[in-house]
Amino acid sequence: MNIHEYQAKQLLAKFGVPVSRGIACTSTDEVGKAFATLAEPLAVVKVQIHAGGRGKAGGVKLVRSADEAKQVAAGLLGKTIVTHQTGPEGRVVKTLYVEAGSDIEREMYLAVVMDRSAQAPVVIAAAEGGMDIEELAAHKPEAIARHRVHPVKGLQAFQARALCKHLGLSGEQAKAGARLLGGLVKAFMELDCSLAEINPMIVTKQGEVKALDAKMSFDDNALFRHQDVAELRDLNEEDPKEVEAKKFDLNYIALHGNIGCMVNGAGLAMATMDVIQLKGGAPANFLDVGGGANKQQVTNAFKILLSDKNVKGILVNIFGGIMKCDTIAEGVIAAAKETRLNVPLVVRLEGTNVELGRKLLQDSGLNLHTATSLDEAAEKIVAAIR
Ligand code: GDP
Ligand code: MN
């Protein structure tokens, strides 16, 4: 799960990470008032969307009066922002964060990520911020320092010192940098993050060290331990189909193709997407209905697939292991009838009671194609939507 910048800053501030004062707003009037409340000569109006690259896309604006702040807000609220991370459809701006402006002396990059091969969090730091870290990693990897964090001891003082040195911080700034680092790592570990990124971390002209931007992602499987974090979820930022799928315990991810896929098991779902692609088609989604999907889940999955206007055909590829193929066939038939299916449907069943399942499908009176192999199924659905 991702959260907004202003929410991440509120969380990080509790862990001692210095951030600027700011106020989240949802209307132009609020933005005008926020500017007045901050009472600074300079403020920054920042769109709150779950994507980076806002600065380049015109979603971060410096303002010097309440009127200017309101004007900028009117130009952003309700508008769609497209950044290199949003995809071509962009994101609609519903919230703006008005923050006290900083005089930037220098921008740096700092992040903590979970490194699965190291089986530990890793701190990543670069003295050159602002630039895309991916680009820096590709062209100047030596500019990036990496320190593995001990899962129990946390970030050690010597590591913080080395990181600060790498960032070009010394004296008081190095001390402030070490405190910020300590807070960031602690937040990452205590809140079960998968990413905590500060890009940029800055030194101001006044010599302060602080987080100018903040991005945090959380491990969904640990969210039950952090009710306060779970409450920060913003459904506006998520695909409505994905939100619906979560309600029914379906693993669904929307994609850009036109063949809806219903599969049980993540591995089989990925293989199915690959084979569709191989046969010249494009999957509209990844959908794993789970090993023990029941009739109700199959029906809900169908409804979600059909709510996607791009879907021109559906491929069901189910392996009846825990579930029997006849049960699955009944689910598919019921779902197809209930949703008044009006796009081609190809069903491939394999596993326990497969003969019975196939017979049920054939006798159902539904206009569906059956297939015995994944290859055949993919070929049939690709042909059917042509
Ligand atoms: P992102 O583009 O989505 O990553 O948004 P950021 O929060 O990183 O802001 C983008 C850029 O806007 C920063 O790298 C800064 O150069 C600039 N910016 C943000 N806040 C301030 C500020 O308070 N003062 C100044 N001068 N520039 C800022
Ligand atoms: Mn940023």
Is residue 135 located within the same domain as residue 230?
A: yes
Other Cβ atoms within 10 Å of 87 Cβ, number: 11
User: Predicted confidence band at 376 (pLDDT cuts at 50, 70, 90)?
Assistant: very high
Hey, CA dihedral for 202, 130, 54, 193, is it positive or negative? negative
Q: What is the pLDDT of residue 127?
A: 94
Q: How far out from the chain centre does Cα 242 lie?
A: 11
- 337 CA to centre of ligand 1 in angstroms: 53
For ligand 1, atom 9, name the residue with the nearest CA. Answer: 55
E strand spans, 127-192: 144-148
Ligand 1 lined by 102 (C-beta under 6 Å): yes
> Is 109 labeled as catalytic in the residue annotation?
yes
> Exactly one of 5, 197, 237, 350 is catalytic; which is it?
197
Is residue 90 located within the same domain as residue 31?
A: yes
- 102 CA to centre of ligand 1 in angstroms: 9
| Percent of residues, the chain, with pLDDT higher than 70 | 99
Q: How far out from the chain centre does Cα 45 lie?
A: 23
- 101 CA to centre of ligand 1 in angstroms: 9
Is residue 314 located within the same domain as residue 229?
A: no
Is residue 180 located within the same domain as residue 298?
A: no
Q: Give the mean model confidence (pLDDT) for residues 193-215.
A: 97
What is the tens place of the pLDDT at every residue in 296-338? Answer: 888 888 889 988 989 999 999 998 887 788 888 888 898 888 8
| Percent of residues, the chain, with pLDDT higher than 90 | 77
Q: What is the pLDDT of residue 339?
A: 82
Tell which phi-psi region holds residue 263, choosing left (phi > 0), alpha (psi between -120 and 50) or beta. beta
Q: What is the pLDDT of residue 156?
A: 96
What is the tens place of the pLDDT at every residue in 162-181? Answer: 999 999 999 999 999 999 99
Q: What is the pLDDT of residue 130?
A: 65
Is residue 374 located within the same domain as residue 263?
A: yes
Q: Which residue has the higher pLDDT, 121 or 309?
A: 121
Q: Distance between CA 104 and CA 14 in Å, rounded?
A: 23
Highest mean pLDDT among 128-132, 223-227, 264-268: 223-227
Provide CB contacts within 8 A for 338, sequence distance 6+. Answer: 299, 302
Of ligand 1's listed atoms, the one at least distance from the Cα of 20 is 23
Ligand 1 lined by 38 (C-beta under 6 Å): no
**Among 238, 270, 292, where does a domain finish?**
238
Residue 270: C-alpha distances to residues 61, 133, 285, 383 (Å):
41, 29, 10, 20
Backbone dihedral angles phi then psi of residue 316, each to the nearest 5 degrees: -105, 125
Other Cβ atoms within 10 Å of 18 Cβ, number: 16
End-to-end CA distance of the chain: 37
Question: What's this model's pTM, rounded to 2 decimal places?
Answer: 0.84
Of ligand 1's listed atoms, the one at least distance from the Cα of 55 is 2
Q: What is the pLDDT of residue 299?
A: 84
133 has a pLDDT exceeding 90: no
Is residue 208 located within the same domain as residue 270?
A: no
Question: What is the extent of the structural domain holding 319?
Answer: 239-385
Nearest CA to 3 among 180, 226, 242? Answer: 226
Provide CB contacts within 8 A for 24, sequence distance 6+. Answer: 4, 6, 48, 95, 96, 97, 98
Q: What is the pLDDT of residue 96?
A: 98
Q: What is the pLDDT of residue 131?
A: 65
- Least reliable range by pLDDT among 229-238, 252-261, 319-328: 319-328
Domain containing 366 — which CATH number? 3.40.50.261
Is residue 275 located within the same domain as residue 336?
A: yes
Structure tokens at 239: 């695909």
Q: Which of 76, 104, 133, 203 to mutate to test the pocket of ligand 1 (most atoms within 8 A of CB)?
A: 104
- Least reliable range by pLDDT among 210-219, 249-258, 269-278: 249-258
How many folded domains does the chain comprise?
A: 3
Q: How far out from the chain centre does Cα 195 lie?
A: 11
**Among 238, 261, 285, where does a domain finish?**
238
What is the SS3 string spanning 48-90? CCCCCCCCCCCCEEEECCHHHHHHHHHHHCCCEECCCCCCCCC
- 377 CA to centre of ligand 1 in angstroms: 50
